[in-house]
Structure 1
Amino acid sequence: MKIKLILFVLFTFFFIEPASAQPTGMLPAVKVITAPDGSQEYSVTLQILILMTLLTFLPAIVIMMTSFIRISVVFAILRQALGLQQTPSNQILVGLTLFLSLFIMAPVLERVYDEAVQPYMNEELSSTQAIEMAKGPFRNFMLAQVRENDLLMFADMAEVSFENNDYSAAPFTVLVPAFITSELKTAFQIGFLVFIPFLVIDLVIASILMAMGMMMLSPMIVSLPFKIMLFVLIDGWALIVGTLANSFG
């Protein structure tokens, strides 16, 4: 909060001139320009201010509008199924999730760069038009993964209707929460399938220990090396990563 206040004061000091040096009601560095066709364009200073403000939402965008959710949840369930509380560490799992998300989202990001960023840098599109163009690839990605029931549920709550079941015009306020809900459901379904083999090993080890009368020995300690050995023999990391990547195809 203090940092935002300091930035606001500095912005006011450097970019807003005294009233005697400018026309009444006009700020030279902060203004909205109306084009002949009726569209509006913001001054460069105001665009930079808006961009810096939007950067605070970048983590939420990365987490909630990409493949990050599904991958991170599956990795967390996998670590729990193996019985390893801190191995791999959170930093390793988050880093792997980020790079795997970047790999999966590469076609989407390339489209955003070709259709929005590059034309904007060449001054072929205004900032507003570039933002609208950038929404398209992300919208198509989320629509390909979202479940129809989840999308209709949020659409009903927001009182949004779709003509001829055309969901391409779904607003982001409806599409994003529906996408998040769908991703969580898919992640738990994959996590369930991942958990079952390790649960079977735990049950078998527990039954053997009970039959041998070794009730004081924790089954988790005995089953851990067997679960790790199984995971290594089936090349578990490649299998999990490949399955997650193909699940977005």
Structure 2
Amino acid sequence: MTNQNPMTLPVYSDQAISRMFCDYVDSTNCKERHTAAAVRDYDVFADYVENETRSSNTVQNALLEKAMDFAVEYEESGFIAGFRWAVMMFLHGAPEPPAEAPERASEPPTRKLQPEPAKPAPASSAPLLRDVEDDRCVDKPVAGCITTKQIAELFSTSNFKVVRRIDERIMPYLDSETRKNFQLVRGFNSQHKKTTFYRLNRTACDLYLEEISKYKKLVNVAGGCGAMQELVAKVFPADARSLPR
């Protein structure tokens, strides 16, 4: 890297760098800019806050807003530190990396994280579903399916969060055939507003319960699992397979 003359570069104050960070945030236009792990952590924390302060929406909102304020403050500090580091490397060249310590025989080699193998679909006679997109009202329940909107009500959460959980925590680990048990629906609801949700057949319901059961320590999740099991038994009475516990 060729060293540059520091006098040819502008000097950035903390305020200037902060403005650059704010401009970057505005440029995302509400798109997700955090990692999937950060989004999952926020969902778990939001569920915990919702469970522990169920009687007060004011307390819930105050806690979540304060947590987000802290997160943004740390993110901005990291942005400023990273920007300064980048300028320093541009001016003076990248520093030599520290010498690696010899690996001790007692320590196992570091393993790279690999994506989980595709989950096999539970044995089922449930028909595979096809995605739907039209300009008619698609908000009404359909026989032989359970919607993410119904699931959201059972778990006292939003349809958006249930859809995101399916997209990020279930779909990436399924093969293409198993994904067809989830029918993505796009259209308009009874209020003529755009809506997106999933319809789940029996196999998809089992996969969702398998995923959400990991968080059964939360009271609202445990109650939601029980309520969903009851709904599945009513919607799919012919299929008497045992549900995930």
Which TM-score tier does this pair reach, normalised by the shorter chain?
Answer: under 0.3
Greater helix share, 1 or 2?
Answer: 1
Q: Could you tell me the TM-score, scaled by structure 1's length?
A: 0.26
Structure exhibiting the larger radius of gyration computed from Cα positions: 1
